[in-house]
Amino acid sequence: MSDFIMAAANGRNIPKEDVIFGISRRAREMAEDVGEDKVINATIGALLDDEGEFLVLSSVDDTFMGLEPVEYAQYAPIGGTPEFRKAAIRAALRSYEPKGQVRAVATPGGTGSLRNTIANYSCPGDQILTTDWHWSPYKTIAAEQGRSIATFRLFNENYGFNAEDFRKRVGEMLEEQDRLIIILNTPAQNPTGYSLTDADWQKVISILSSQAPEKRIALLVDTAYIDFAGDEDEYRSFLPYLEELPANVLPILAFSMSKTFTLYGLRCGAMICLAPNEEIADEFVRVCEFSSRASWSNSPRVGQSIIANIFADKDLLDRVTKERKEIRDMLLKRGRAFEEEAERAGLPILPYDGGFFASIPCDDPASASRELEAEGIFLVPLAMGLRVSLASISEEKCRRIPAKVVEVLNKR
């Protein structure tokens, strides 16, 4: 019997409850029963303080509270206000000044950038290439538009970037289809915390530059966690490499204000292209605005006004940057604590460089997750392991997790 009454499945597998939100719900219910101190809810993809309260940059909050009604109530242009587009480029690129043509289109969070890129730079039935360790909604976004996800192995045997498997999969897929979208989530990848190095990027550029010039490739760099990886300029050192790509490869940045400015609920983001010429850049704006109009119409104005106002005031921008560094330092300290305890407990983890998440490879992650829930530890099961949200738990709880995971895994 079909699970659907009136709705059409259309080839999609639609769960009754989102996995992550379901686990988080069960964590909250247990905390209410036994107490917050006995529960570790490491599922939430947002920054929380050590008491479990949402962390919001006070400088951003003050800017929000100071908005005039017209700055949040009026419709924004489909592609974003002019002031926001300029600010989004500055936020994404910081001190880097591209040689080519740069354009920005507003989106509801980084997710909108993914949706628009898939809609415009692939065809129905195409496969989208990304890493085997990846944010699971990539699959959902692709499936909703009649595409699917294919993967390459992110890590080689030494837990470095697997350039050879990347080369192999790109070649294989371009033999089957004329267009290819590649999604690379870096720096501070979700779910591993891994960042491609400059040497890794040089290999990526070399591989893509060697493909047949008649093929069309869109390289979407999902930079959602870029400002929580480390020094904000150092972690943008890969940007010049993107401009070395040939004209048949279009680099697109998915930039999320949700993380960088703690504006999760305002759904503020931008997609930014680094195009080799005006024709490709202008086409990018035209097709992405068309897709925006056909889906969410225009993105919320309020986040755009906040970001534009921040970048119009140097002192305010400096305050935001300083405050974000304090939170980033706290997050990275949690990550180092987790790494230290994992090593002490003999728990293998994937290379963590920065960001919100770390990952533990294991067999049968779903069963491991259920067993850990009984111990009051709530982690997200992935295809090949467990994801730990370092962003949502205290350093003390980060230190408690590894030994408990080893204990549970050794019982199996």
Model pLDDT for residues 136-158, shown as the tens digit of each residue: 999 999 999 999 999 999 999 99
Specify the amino acid at residue 270. A
Helix (H) or strand (E) run with residue 113 in it: helix 109-121
Segments forming the whole domain that contains residue 360: 19-57+318-410
Cα dihedral 66, 70, 74, 78, rounded to 10, equals -70
Residue 149 lies in a domain: yes
Residue 356 lies in a domain: yes
Residue 50 lies in a domain: yes
Among 248, 128, 244, 254, which residue's Cα sits nearest to residue 186? 254
Same domain, 241 and 350: no
| pLDDT the model gives residue 1 | 43
User: What's the pLDDT tens digit per position in 29-78?
Assistant: 998 899 888 899 999 889 999 998 999 999 999 999 999 999 999 999 99
CATH number at 234 reads 3.40.640.10
Chosen domain end from 293, 315, 337: 315
Same domain, 382 and 253: no
Residue 6 lies in a domain: no
Residue 1 lies in a domain: no
Same domain, 276 and 368: no
Residue 206 lies in a domain: yes
Residue 5 lies in a domain: no
Same domain, 199 and 341: no
**Rg (alpha carbons) of the chain, rounded to whole number:** 21
Same domain, 107 and 168: yes
Distance CA(305)–CA(82), nearest Å, equals 10
Chosen domain end from 270, 294, 315: 315
Residue 179 confidence (pLDDT) above 90: yes
Between strands 127-131 and 179-185, the pairing is: parallel
CB-based contact 242:258 (threshold 8 Å): no
Among 324, 406, 342, 398, which residue's Cα sits nearest to residue 368? 406
Same domain, 139 and 201: yes
Same domain, 282 and 308: yes
Same domain, 145 and 34: no
Question: What are 380's strand-pairing partners?
Answer: 387
Burial (CB < 10 A; 0-12, 13-18, 19+), residue 35, is: exposed
Chosen domain end from 315, 336, 353: 315
Same domain, 119 and 51: no
Same domain, 245 and 336: no
Question: What are 253's strand-pairing partners?
Answer: 221, 272
User: What's the pLDDT tens digit per position in 313-353?
Assistant: 999 999 999 999 999 999 999 999 999 999 999 999 999 99
Residue 219 confidence (pLDDT) above 80: yes
Helix (H) or strand (E) run with residue 152 in it: strand 148-152
**CA distances to 39, 123, 267, 298 from 145, in Å:** 38, 9, 21, 20
| pLDDT the model gives residue 14 | 82
Specify the amino acid at residue 40. I
Total of domains in the chain: 2
CB-based contact 98:92 (threshold 8 Å): no
- Non-local (6+) Cβ contacts of 205 within 8 A are 241, 242, 244, 245
Buried b (16+ CB within 10 A) or exposed e, 327-352: bbebbbebbebbbebbeeeebebbbb
| pLDDT the model gives residue 2 | 62
CB-based contact 317:311 (threshold 8 Å): yes
User: What's the pLDDT tens digit per position in 222-236?
Assistant: 999 999 999 999 999
More confident site: 400 or 15 = 400
More confident site: 406 or 2 = 406
User: How many other β-carbons are positioned within 10 Å of the β-carbon of residue 24?
Assistant: 20
Between strands 269-275 and 249-256, the pairing is: antiparallel
Burial (CB < 10 A; 0-12, 13-18, 19+), residue 16, is: exposed
CATH number at 39 reads 3.90.1150.10
Distance CA(361)–CA(32), nearest Å, equals 30
User: What's the pLDDT tens digit per position in 235-293?
Assistant: 999 999 999 999 999 999 999 998 999 999 999 999 999 999 999 999 999 999 999 99
State how far Cα 214 lies from the chain centre. Answer: 30
Same domain, 100 and 248: yes
User: How many other β-carbons are positioned within 10 Å of the β-carbon of residue 267?
Assistant: 20
User: What's the pLDDT tens digit per position in 7-34?
Assistant: 888 878 888 777 888 888 999 999 889 9
CB-based contact 188:228 (threshold 8 Å): yes
CB-based contact 369:41 (threshold 8 Å): no
Distance CA(265)–CA(47), nearest Å, equals 13
Question: What are 185's strand-pairing partners?
Answer: 222
- Least confident span in 117-126, 205-214, 305-314, 368-377: 368-377
Distance CA(89)–CA(255), nearest Å, equals 9
User: What's the pLDDT tens digit per position in 353-377?
Assistant: 999 999 999 999 999 999 999 999 9
Same domain, 349 and 200: no
Residue 7 lies in a domain: no
